[in-house]
Amino acid sequence: KNTANPAKKMPIGPRSPRCPSCGYSEPKPIRSHDGRYFIYKDGKAVPAYARTVFKGDQIFVLKSVYQFFEPKRWDVIVFKNPTEPRINYIKRCIGLPGETLQIIDGDIFINGQIQRKPEKVQEELWMTVYDNDYQPARPDEASFNGHPWKQPFENVGTAKWDLSAMGSTAFELSSDGESIHRIQYNDQHGNDFRATYAYDDPASFPMMPVCSDLMVQCHPRMWANSAAGAQISKYGISYQGWIKSNGTMRIFRLTPGGQQVLIEEGSCRRTDLGKTSRFRFAVVDQQLVLEFGSSRVVHDMGVDIDAAGTDRQITPQVQILGSGKLRLTHIGLYRDIYYLSSDEDNRVQQASRDHPMTLNDNEFFACGDNSPFSADSRMWTKPGLANNDKIYHAGVVPKDYFVGKAFFVHWPGGYRLKEEPIRWIPFPDGMKMIYGGKD
């Protein structure tokens, strides 16, 4: 569970130095099912008490804002835990008074319609599946996913992608510009799409669901008459997003026979062409989002339940596409946050598809971003406690228990030298705004 003291600390788990294998500033120590932390050292699990465990960041909280304004969905709120009122918790506000809430396939539905995250909130909630810039120095050692590392992107058929360009962190293609060349992500070599977290022991959550809200990101350099794209499948239906060297941006749906059906089209700004701009294609919150530089094309798949297809636990297929002459750098694959509606024992929690939850006046629903391990509204089965023998409904955060809105990380968990009691070495890169509500 996460707790917080307003304007003091927001515990988010331990922080660790850079990974000695790949150089990434994560991972943090892994948490087992019984709440203890451990790290891997020389191939063996070592209790994390042998190292410093940081309790978290210090945050600023607007303690009076909700006396004048109503909380908004996606706000990061500090409140007193209804089942333990002496403890302040920090979670994300998901449900508002008068709403009927359901968590379906990791997404939030209110009154039968999906609730899309504001752009800045969504940016905070993308989680890395694979980052090609951080490759292990010792690939033969089993790591987080339990098997040795191998480049997870592979040429499909006779595709001519060079996957070892520029020291293997860039992909290059030199083709005639007519045919499409594909590389596909192999989740048997890289991390899979289960809704696991690097700081929660994946062995403790063997039955985690598959997250099919995904995003492909890269920085393509395109020569004349070339095109770069990505293909992502959800519920067995494949979608493509393309950017051409002439500036055309297109989104396609593929038929069962593989034929392209154009469903959205646009063009990028001239300032984004002629340089290595960021390309993104995402299937998220029942939308298809194609970005290139500052240009954006969005296709709305519908807001109703099952508008994007029937919820099926089918492993998504992810491909990077290209034609002509291309060089891709900073290649990454990300998944959306996945809110669980059942625990690891498949016990149904509150606000699931078949067990919707309706909130009364001054009742709110809060969820933690670390959904598998978060003690939040989904997990509270006992009525909340209050003064004068007042009882709150199980699973709700009453307006009476709101402390304020978290809005800025002003002192990220610092470092300490050896056994010094004070973490006085700052971590300025972690200073940031905490986004919530509407953009």
Q: Which of 59-63, 100-104, 416-420 has the highest mean pLDDT?
A: 100-104
pLDDT digits (tens, 9 = 90+) for 395-433: 999 999 999 998 887 766 666 666 666 666 666 666 777
Going from the C-alpha of 334 to that of each of 28, 51, 185, 213, 284, the distances in angstroms are 18, 30, 12, 9, 11
Q: Is 137 exposed, middle or buried (0-12, 13-18, 19+ CB in 10 A)?
A: exposed
pLDDT, mean of residues 186-208 = 77
Handedness of CA 391, 91, 289, 198 (dihedral sign): negative
pLDDT attached to residue 309: 92
Helix (H, G, I), strand (E, B) or coil at 411: strand
Burial class of 361 by CB neighbour count within 10 A (0 to 12, 13 to 18, 19+): exposed
Q: Which residue carries 């500033």 as its tokens? A: 25
Handedness of CA 401, 12, 338, 438 (dihedral sign): positive
By three-state DSSP, how is residue 389 classified?
Answer: helix
Answer whether 150's CB lies under 8 Å from 140's CB.
no
Among 416, 435, 432, 412, which residue's Cα sits nearest to residue 424? 416
| SS3 call for 204 | helix
- The pLDDT tens digits for 135-150 are 887 777 776 566 778 8
Q: Is the pLDDT of residue 38 over 80?
A: no
Q: Which domains does the chain have, with CATH numbers?
A: 1-16+51-126+338-439 (2.10.109.10), 133-335 (2.60.120.560)
Given a cut of 80, whether residue 34 has pLDDT beyond it is no
Cis peptide before 428 (omega within 30 of 0): no
Between the two ends of the chain, the Cα-to-Cα distance in Å is 28
CA 164, 165, 168: angle at the middle one, nearest 5?
Answer: 45
Closest CA to 263 of 274, 252, 247, 278: 252
DSSP codes of every residue in 313-351: -----EEEEEESEEEEEEEEEEE---B-SB-TT--B-TT
Helix, coil or strand: residue 387:
helix
Give the C-alpha separation, 411 to 413, whole Å.
Answer: 6
47 pLDDT band, cuts 50/70/90, is low
3-class DSSP assignment, residue 124: helix
269: left (phi over 0), alpha (psi -120 to 50) or beta: beta
Q: Find the farthest-apart pair of alpha carbons in the chain and give their distance in angstroms, rounded.
A: 78
Residue 391 is encoded by which pair of tokens? 């009882």
What integer is the mean pLDDT of 235-242?
97
**Least trusted range by pLDDT, from 145-149, 184-188, 209-213, 367-371:** 145-149
pTM of the model: 0.83
Q: Does the structure show a pLDDT above 50 at 308? A: yes
What is the C-alpha separation between 294 and 12, in angstroms, rounded?
A: 32
Q: Is the pLDDT of residue 133 over 80?
A: yes
CA 67 to chain centre: 31
Q: Tell me the C-alpha distance between 285 and 340, whole Å.
A: 15
When pLDDT is cut at 50, 70 and 90, the band that residue 7 belongs to is very low
